């Protein structure tokens, strides 16, 4: 507390106080007297000294914890709140409240988090009975891509350091002996043989499974050698694709959208808003985690967006049917003819009693060479 | 006859800090630490007079304040212009 010393000899008061073991600090002379500060317990015992010094004391400013506590002495709720806060802080520091993954490149983080959760390591887990080595071992056994892994606990934050294995590149040469066979029927347009003996020539028609390049060759001396045959055999192939589309078509039209929010606080999930769930529906969710100075805290808001669909039956015309069937053909090419180049498409759409039908004939060029292991008993 | 100190080069002893002798340490002209104080005789922003042993040390200047006071030492801060000694 800060007080003012009024009298003729404030220096005498200071000397007497110091001699009696009373600490005085921030003593500042002013025109009307001397200002000084001391702790509240000392102030209670300086009255006799002031009397002996012939000075009067006047309190100017009261500050510090004792005065704050005195001001709030009837508001027991504040004290209870502080006590609860301290208890909560002491209890909550024994749990894992945030997990950070470092060094993950090819492994799915979601799968990794799920795996850790199954091993008993998740947000909200009690730190006391954690066997980190066991969790690390189990995770490494589940994910063969992990070369090294370490779980570091820093307070309530867990940092998982992962080093993925460096994959050994496939060698061009192998110890195995292979033939090259035709993947499907076709007419050979060109062949580029790196190793092995050609069994067919350009322009010849081959059927699926036919030997194209042999892994066995005979040198000029008549010695037989076995190699891992390697070749690129480009052939013209034909694909037939059929798709149909009903005239009466059932489609799902998106209807109203709704949002459902949930507050995740520690272990608890508190719904903030409700949305009716009608079938069929689609949904996606996003989680917004609260960060405090770049550190995630166990408070997050989860928003789920729901969209309901209405089943409607529509009758389609030929133009729409063509568009739908063309899309199906494009999808077929995209997923089934990834390595083929389509040269010509012969398509026709015919009307059937129930709808429309697409017949397509696709002439493609592609590499039809496929390796087949050749088992040789050299004994 | 008092015993002469043969170590002529020895001018400073840690015991000086424990003795009742006056010891003044200046930090430029902005701060001074005085040890061996027996009491403050006068305290104003222009002059601080302190009783030490059997004489009085006066610090003259402007904006002088007693930052820290203990039974035997005190710290003076401010712009010190002069230090004088008197009986």
Q: Which domains does chain B have, with CATH numbers?
A: 22-86 (2.60.40.2000)
Q: Which of B45, B68, B69 sits opposite A29 (nearest CB)?
A: B45
pLDDT higher than 50, residue B1:
no
Is the CB of residue A212 less than 8 Å away from at least one CB of chain B?
Answer: no
pLDDT higher than 80, residue A279:
no
Instruction: Say how far apart CA B46 and CA A230 lie, in whole Å.
Output: 102
| Structural domain boundaries in chain A | 2-68, 98-164, 178-237+369-373, 249-314
On whether the CB atoms of residues A165 and A148 are closer than 8 A, the answer is no
Q: Name every residue whose Cβ is closer than 8 Å to that of residue A351 and which is 6 or more positions away in sequence.
A: A318, A357
Q: Which of B40, B65, B67 sits opposite A14 (nearest CB)?
A: B40
For A377, counting Cβ atoms within 10 Å of its Cβ (0-12 exposed, 13-18 middle, 19+ buried), the class is exposed
On whether the CB atoms of residues A145 and A107 are closer than 8 A, the answer is yes
Query: Which strand (E) or helix (H) includes residue A94?
Result: none
> Helix, strand, or coil here: A248?
strand
Helix runs in A93-172, H state only: 109-118, 132-142
Q: Contacts of residue B39 in chain A, CB cutoff 8 Å?
A: 11, 15
Q: For residue A193, how far is the Cα from the chain centroid?
A: 45
Which DSSP category does A200 fall into? S
Is the CB of residue A26 less than 8 Å away from at least one CB of chain B?
Answer: yes
Is the CB of residue A18 less than 8 Å away from at least one CB of chain B?
Answer: yes
Is the CB of residue A31 less than 8 Å away from at least one CB of chain B?
Answer: no
Closest-CA distance of chain A to residue B44, Å: 5
On whether the CB atoms of residues A281 and A309 are closer than 8 A, the answer is yes
Cross-chain Cβ contact A25/B69 below 8 Å: yes
Average pLDDT on A57-82 reads 86
Q: Which of A11, A18, A25 sits opposite B42 (nearest CB)?
A: A11
Pick the CATH number of A2-68 from 3.30.70, 3.40.50, 3.40.720, 1.10.3470: 3.30.70
Which DSSP category does A20 fall into? T
- The upper half-sphere exposure of residue A127, i.e. CA atoms within 13 Å in the direction of its Cβ, equals 17
pLDDT in the model for residue B2: 46
Instruction: Say how far apart CA A362 and CA A374 lie, in whole Å.
Output: 33
Helix runs in chain A, H state only: 10-19, 40-43, 47-53, 65-71, 76-92, 109-118, 132-142, 318-336
Using alpha carbons, list the distances in angstroms from residue A119 to A53, A100, A114, A122, A130.
76, 16, 9, 9, 10
pLDDT higher than 50, residue B4:
no
Cross-chain Cβ contact A11/B40 below 8 Å: yes
On whether the CB atoms of residues A179 and A378 are closer than 8 A, the answer is no
For residue A37, how many other CB atoms are within 10 A of its CB?
18
Closest-CA distance of chain A to residue B78, Å: 11
> Helix, strand, or coil here: A55?
strand
A287-322 pLDDT, tens digit each: 898 888 877 788 889 998 888 888 888 888 888 889
- The upper half-sphere exposure of residue A204, i.e. CA atoms within 13 Å in the direction of its Cβ, equals 13
pLDDT-derived band at B12 (thresholds 50, 70, 90) equals low
Instruction: Say how far apart CA A103 and CA A164 lie, in whole Å.
Output: 7
pLDDT in the model for residue A22: 86
Cross-chain Cβ contact A18/B69 below 8 Å: yes
Q: Which of B44, B67, B70 sits opposite A18 (nearest CB)?
A: B70
Is residue B68 reached through a cis peptide bond, with omega within 30 degrees of 0 on the bond before it?
no
> Helix, strand, or coil here: B80?
strand
Instruction: Say how far apart CA A260 and CA A168 lie, in whole Å.
Output: 47
Which DSSP category does A362 fall into? E
Cross-chain Cβ contact B43/A10 below 8 Å: yes
Q: Which of B69, B70, B71 sits opposite A27 (nearest CB)?
A: B69
pTM recorded for the entire structure: 0.49
Is the CB of residue A9 less than 8 Å away from at least one CB of chain B?
Answer: no
Q: Contacts of residue B71 in chain A, CB cutoff 8 Å?
A: 18-19, 21
pLDDT higher than 60, residue B7:
no
Across A280-284, B13-17, B19-23, B39-43, the highest mean pLDDT is recorded for: B39-43
B34-81 pLDDT, tens digit each: 998 888 898 889 999 999 888 999 999 999 998 888 888 889 999 999
CATH architecture of A98-164: Roll (3.10)
What's the ipTM? 0.74
On whether the CB atoms of residues A149 and A161 are closer than 8 A, the answer is yes
pLDDT in the model for residue A235: 93
């Amino acid at each position: 507390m800060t007080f003012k010393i009024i009298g003729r000899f404030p220096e005498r008061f200071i000397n007497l106080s110091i001699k009696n073991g009373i600490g005085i600090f921030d003593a500042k002379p002013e025109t009307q007297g001397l200002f000084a500060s001391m702790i509240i317990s000392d102030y209670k015992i300086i009255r006799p000294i002031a009397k002996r010094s012939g000075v009067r004391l006047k309190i100017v400013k009261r500050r510090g914890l004792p005065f704050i506590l005195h001001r709030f002495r009837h508001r027991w709720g504040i004290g209870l709140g502080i006590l609860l806060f301290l208890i909560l802080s002491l209890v909550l520091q024994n749990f894992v409240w945030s997990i950070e993954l470092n060094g993950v490149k090819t492994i799915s983080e979601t799968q990794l988090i799920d795996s850790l959760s199954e091993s008993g390591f998740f947000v909200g887990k009690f730190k006391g009975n954690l066997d980190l080595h066991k969790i690390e071992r189990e995770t490494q056994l589940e994910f063969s891509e992990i070369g090294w892994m370490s779980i570091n606990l820093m307070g309530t934050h867990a940092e998982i350091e992962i080093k993925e294995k460096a994959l050994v590149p496939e060698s061009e040469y192998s110890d195995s002996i292979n033939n090259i066979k035709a993947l499907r029927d076709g007419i050979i347009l060109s062949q580029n043989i790196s190793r092995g003996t050609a069994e067919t020539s350009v322009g010849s028609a081959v059927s699926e499974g036919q030997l194209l390049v042999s892994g066995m060759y005979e040198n000029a001396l008549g010695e037989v050698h076995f190699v891992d045959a390697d070749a690129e055999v480009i052939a013209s192939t034909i694909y037939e694709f059929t798709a149909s589309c009903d005239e009466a078509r059932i489609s799902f039209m998106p209807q109203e959208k709704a949002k459902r929010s949930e507050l995740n606080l520690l272990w608890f999930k508190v719904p903030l808003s409700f949305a009716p769930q009608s079938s069929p529906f689609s949904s996606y969710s996003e989680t917004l985690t609260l960060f405090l100075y770049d550190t995630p805290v166990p408070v997050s808001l989860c928003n789920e967006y729901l969209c309901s669909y209405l089943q409607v039956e529509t009758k389609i015309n030929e133009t729409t049917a063509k568009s739908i069937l063309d899309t199906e053909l494009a999808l077929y090419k995209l997923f089934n003819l990834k390595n083929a180049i389509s040269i010509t498409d012969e398509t026709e759409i015919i009307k059937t009693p129930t709808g429309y039908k697409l017949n397509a004939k696709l002439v493609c060029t592609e590499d039809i060479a496929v390796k087949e292991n050749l088992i040789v008993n050299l004994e | 006859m008092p015993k002469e100190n043969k170590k002529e080069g020895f001018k400073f002893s840690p015991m000086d800090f424990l003795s009742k002798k006056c010891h003044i340490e200046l930090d430029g002209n902005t701060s001074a630490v005085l040890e061996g104080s027996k009491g403050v005789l006068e305290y104003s922003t222009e002059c601080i007079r302190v009783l030490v042993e059997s004489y009085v040390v006066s610090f003259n200047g402007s904006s002088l304040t007693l930052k820290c006071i203990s039974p035997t030492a005190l710290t003076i801060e401010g712009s010190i212009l002069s230090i004088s000694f008197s009986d």
